[in-house]
Amino acid sequence: MSERIGVMGAGVMGSGIAQVLAISGHEVICRDLSEEVLEMARSGVDTGRFGVKSAVERGKLTIEEADAALGRLSFTTDLDAAVDVDLIIEAIPEDLGLKMRFWRDLDAIAPQSTIFASNSSGFSVAAMAAGTERPDRFIGWHWASPAPVMKLAEIVRGPQTSDSTVDTVVRLAAAAGKNPVVVKDTDRSWGYVANRVYFAMMREADRVVAEGVADREQVDQLMRDCFRWPSGPYGMVAGAGSGWS
């Protein structure tokens, strides 16, 4: 089933999310405040390391599929052009106050049927939904960077999120080749599941380094060799911040 999807934010995460959903067959409108950011997003989706042309070279897409995906994806600075959709995914900076103001303002102009999904890495879904009139249609959809590659779909159900909202987002994630896992919202600590466990690991890694037991490079190497991780904990920090470029 094809949907109209708005992605708010065209940075590394937003543009990657938009690319994945366009490849999956949806009409996607990616919005940002900056034309410069949008131009970088266009270039990244087309010819970037994880863009559609790279996917063609690696045999993941045909040329026809890549061209069709690009045809379904548009970029704009016009907010009104990006809100008349079935689903809005927010990928703006990780600042709770900013996100809450964003959703409050968006709630006033988006169709009442539109589902709101935040790509927050750990803020409470209930807190973000509180400023809207649609807590039943508000959900967390946490992606991992780079979005075109990583299988993570941490679907965060708020206390008022409806079954139909969960079902819709799970369906979209699975159809896009992700592995949706539905978890409960919490306001006890930041990070849902993936980041709570990750930060626990980082605290212990930092303790090892501070005690002089090993340096960062050694910690990364040991974790890769022992657990077959593609990257160690410190490499993950650098890679996620740069989009693994």
pLDDT for position 214: 98
Catalytic residue check, 119: no
Q: Are residues 126 and 209 in the same domain?
A: no
What's the CATH number where 31 sits?
Answer: 3.40.50.720
Same domain, 95 and 165: yes
Q: Are 135 and 129 in contact (CB under 8 A)?
A: yes
DSSP state of 7: E
Q: Which of 119, 121, 124, 145 is catalytic?
A: 121
Shared-domain flag, residues 66 and 128: yes
State whether 158 and 205 are in the same domain.
no
Choose the catalytic residue: 195, 217, 231, 242.
195
Active-site residue 142, yes or no?
A: yes
Asked whether residue 161 is assigned to any structural domain, the reply reads yes
Among the options 15, 120, 142, 145, which is catalytic? 142
Q: Which domain holds residue 211?
A: 194-242
Q: Are 64 and 23 in the same domain?
A: yes
Residue type present at position 87: L
Q: What is the pLDDT of residues 194-230, one digit of tens each?
A: 999 999 999 999 999 999 999 999 999 999 999 998 8
pLDDT single digits (tens) 60-93 = 999 999 999 999 999 999 999 999 999 999 999 9
- Domain annotation covers residue 199: yes
Q: What is the pTM of this model?
A: 0.93
pLDDT of 188 > 90? The answer is no
Average pLDDT, the chain: 95
Q: Residue 241 — pLDDT band, cuts 50, 70, 90? A: low
Q: Distance between CA atoms of 23 and 128, rounded to whole angstroms?
A: 29
Residue 33, pLDDT above cutoff 90:
yes
Residue 245 pLDDT more than 70? no
For the chain, how many structural domains are there in total? 2
